Amino acid sequence: MAGSGCGWARAVRGLLLDVSGVLYDSGADGGVPIAGSAEAVRRIKASGLKLQLCTNETQATRENFVRKLRALGFDISVAEVTAPAPAACRLLRERGLRPHLLVHDDLVPEFAEIDKTNPNCVVLGDAAENFTYANLNEAFRLLIGMEKPVLISLGKGRYYKETDGLKLDVGAYMKALEYACDVQAEVVGKPAKKFFESALAELGVPAEQAIMIGDDIVSDVGGAQQCGMRALQVRTGKYRPSDENHPEVKPDAYVNNLAEAVDIILQQL
């Protein structure tokens, strides 16, 4: 992969990085850094390239998420994280929506300032252990009882990998509620174009000078390419060999891990 023929790495001014599966493998134990990734983040910053994390993480507030990343050795600040919950709060305010939340307990503080009385929409995140039969029925009943059900989903991932195995992601539960209520969810997070655009705005680099690096062939790679970015798939995290035969999405390149991507990109600067 390295050496000549890496035209995809030219004229880069900023990187968007997915987090889980690229920087670390998440898990109930807090997770494990992927070898070389913390050093790769330091090298990106030292090179003068801009960097923004673009994550669908909805199991914690950005503050707690950054605290966890720092404990794992990543030099990251809150402003360097683009995540669905703050984007959802902007959308709720713009449209006067009052959410019923089916999200992880640790995400709830992100919605502290939002009026949640007499809900007129449901916001679905990766609720993990909160995806109980009772909670899903409650969200369903609220939706089906609305004159015009509004379902907002923080991402639409199929699954992700934790240290103890693969887990169903929010997208699976979104599909369950979509089907039961015959509605289509509005997705806030990757691969929504609007979400990538806000990440680029925070990165401060136009799409054609940015590269997205992720482990999800559809959400990370496909979504970023639809916004005019180049996109790499790492062979870490939820990557599976069958991704390389994906019928619709073809990354600009595959790399074994973030460290290899950064090696190649820095050689072209």
Site residues (vs its own copies, CB under 8 A): 128-129, 131-133, 136-137, 140-141, 144, 158-159, 165-169, 171-173, 175-182
CA 132 to CA 12: how far, in whole Å?
Answer: 44
C-beta of 160: minimal distance to its own copies in Å? 11
Q: Which is nearer to its own copies, 80 or 178 (CB)?
A: 178
C-beta of 239: minimal distance to its own copies in Å? 14
184: CB partners within 8 A, 6+ apart: 151, 178
CA 264 to CA 40: how far, in whole Å?
Answer: 11
Q: Which is nearer to its own copies, 175 or 235 (CB)?
A: 175
Q: Which is nearer to its own copies, 127 or 211 (CB)?
A: 127
Beta bridge partners of 234: 255
C-beta of 22: minimal distance to its own copies in Å? 21
Q: Which is nearer to its own copies, 35 or 144 (CB)?
A: 144
C-beta of 183: minimal distance to its own copies in Å? 11
Q: Which is nearer to its own copies, 6 or 108 (CB)?
A: 108
C-beta of 242: minimal distance to its own copies in Å? 10
